[in-house]
Structure 1
Amino acid sequence: MKRLATAAAAAALLLPLAACGNDDAVDPRADVDSTLVVYAAASLKGTFTELAKEFEAANEGVTVQLSFGGSSDLVSQISEGAPADVFASADEKNMDTLVGDDLVAGDPQDFASNTLVIVTPPDNPGDVTSLDDLADPDLDVVVCAPQVPCGSAAQKLATAAGVTLAPDSEEQSVTDVLTKVTSGEADAGLVYVTDAKGAGDDVRTVDVPQASQVVNTYPIAVLSDAKQPSLARDWVELVTGSQGQKVLRAAGFARP
């Protein structure tokens, strides 16, 4: 009987330890990082910020960390090991770079397209009426750098129109171009129609007939090193789905 009592006591002591062991197995799951890191072209800032709020509301405990910039700069960061789950580019060329380096999981999906337009300050101090005026060396003109999608598009647009641009500044993102115009630092700039629409009364727009010949298609993809692959796929589904497309159309993006 004494031996049985001793065994029972030992078993009783082991039960709390077993329970603690089960708790320890569960706790790490409660500490799993639930931050989704999205790298996206600067021109997507307004739409992706809106979609991030919807995504967080639909996924309790999830935070969407957005990083915007020129697509080429973002590709460089990702290639150098920057932690990101999703990448959305303002052109196919930069996405192809990541695909070629095996940094993309699956096939990228096209979700939007964009074209360029001239913007000036509201009072149009340079009296800009066409793309030809952007070749005037007396005007302060700003465009995106050639390696950035909006810069590559600007060069193609100028070629299509037979115009040699004379920019005073080449920026690393379309939002930088827009800022220089809205702040009065430039007489005119080339930005996407979505950026011009988002700026509202802070700019005046001048359409370019040849713009329809130069269309930038936007692809999105889950990255191969994503720490949150499931959430990343859900984000891509949101962007390419009906709700994401509704937000994009409202901002002025066209279908891919």
Structure 2
Amino acid sequence: MVKSRAVRRRALGLAGCCTAVLLALSGCSSDSSSGSAGAGSTGSASSGASTSSASSASSTVSGTVTVFAAASLKEAFTTLGGRFEAAHPGTKVVFNFAGSDALAASIVAGAPADVFAAASPTTMKTVTDQGDAGTPTTFVRNQLEIATVPGNPHHIASLQDLAQPGLKVVLCAKEVPCGAAAQKALAAGNVQLTPVSYEQDVKAALTKVELQEADASLVYQTDVKSAAGKVDGVPFPEAASAINDYPIATLTHAPNSAGAQAFVALVESPDGQKVLTDAGFLSA
């Protein structure tokens, strides 16, 4: 009898052990299953983060941004180009500075570019009329000033003084914005003169005076400022009747549309506007 009880106790103990083992195994299985779900959840979050990161990377500005800009914007836009590249590592801004009419003609003819910044709404219209640019916005304005050789040896003090006999005056070609503005100013001052040459952009007209191949020229006040020490500037009241608006637009077939939008945003930002007004441009 005693032996039978001992056998039953051992059997019960063994059964208890087996039950405990089974419960432990069940707990392990549950933990393992719960861990798998957690891992799946983590994997899903990681996948979401990866997708978000990829989306962010795809929207990051990269590559080359090609900007066609009026010659008078050269100094200010070169500064902005450097800032753009610093803000977007790995990007490169390539500029084509020339007369706005020549740039507009190139764009219409299919020249690849991302942004067009013109020195007048008329030249911008050449591009928008062909559907080659988005809606432009005016980002700055500019007005004329008389540039003379250093020291102003001919004592030019007014627009009328440009008509004095023997004075060599250079103007921008009539079809470019600085030339069209010069014609308006001369008409406002009732001044008639025959220039020694017509130049295809404002920088070319300025260079003639810098090299002292001409005594004076009608250029933008921004050009006089950028050439400080090489020319003297003479403001004149008639310039107020010939102020040019400068429009900017992203191009319809821009190879780098994200870069184009980012560059225009920089130009229109407070930082961009400060660079431009520091260069002598008027706020739009």
Q: Normalized against structure 1, the TM-score is what?
A: 0.85
* Structure 2 equivalent of residue 36 of structure 1: 65
Indicate the structure (1 or 2) with the bigger Cα radius of gyration: 2
Tell me how far 1:69 sits from its aligned partner.
Answer: 0.3
Tell me how far 1:203 sits from its aligned partner.
Answer: 1.0
The answer on whether the counterparts of 2:143 and 2:221 sit within 8 Å (CA) in structure 1 is yes
RMSD: 1.4
* Structure 1 equivalent of residue 99 of structure 2: 70
The answer on whether the counterparts of 1:104 and 1:224 sit within 8 Å (CA) in structure 2 is yes
The answer on whether the counterparts of 2:108 and 2:127 sit within 8 Å (CA) in structure 1 is yes
Q: Which runs of 5+ in 1 are unaligned?
A: 1-28
| Cα distance in 1, alignment partners of residues 63 and 188 from structure 2 | 47
Q: Which runs of 5+ in 2 are unaligned?
A: 1-57
**Which of the numbers 228, 241, 253 marks the counterpart of 2:256?**
228
1:220-250 deviation digits (Å, cap 9, x = unpaired):
0000110000110000000011111010010
Percent identity over paired residues: 48
Q: 2:265 aligns to what SS in structure 1? A: helix
* Structure 2 equivalent of residue 128 of structure 1: 156
The answer on whether the counterparts of 2:141 and 2:281 sit within 8 Å (CA) in structure 1 is yes
| Aligned-partner residue type, residue 39 of structure 1 | F
| Aligned-partner residue type, residue 90 of structure 2 | G
| Cα distance in 2, alignment partners of residues 71 and 137 from structure 1 | 32
| Cα distance in 2, alignment partners of residues 146 and 224 from structure 1 | 28
* Structure 2 equivalent of residue 141 of structure 1: 169
Q: For 1:1-256, what aligned pairs fall within 5 Å after superposition?
A: 34-105=63-134, 107-256=135-284
Q: 1:200 aligns to what SS in structure 2? A: coil
Tell me how far 1:123 sits from its aligned partner.
Answer: 2.6
| Cα distance in 2, alignment partners of residues 137 and 221 from structure 1 | 44
| Aligned-partner residue type, residue 117 of structure 1 | E
**Residues matched between the structures, number:** 225
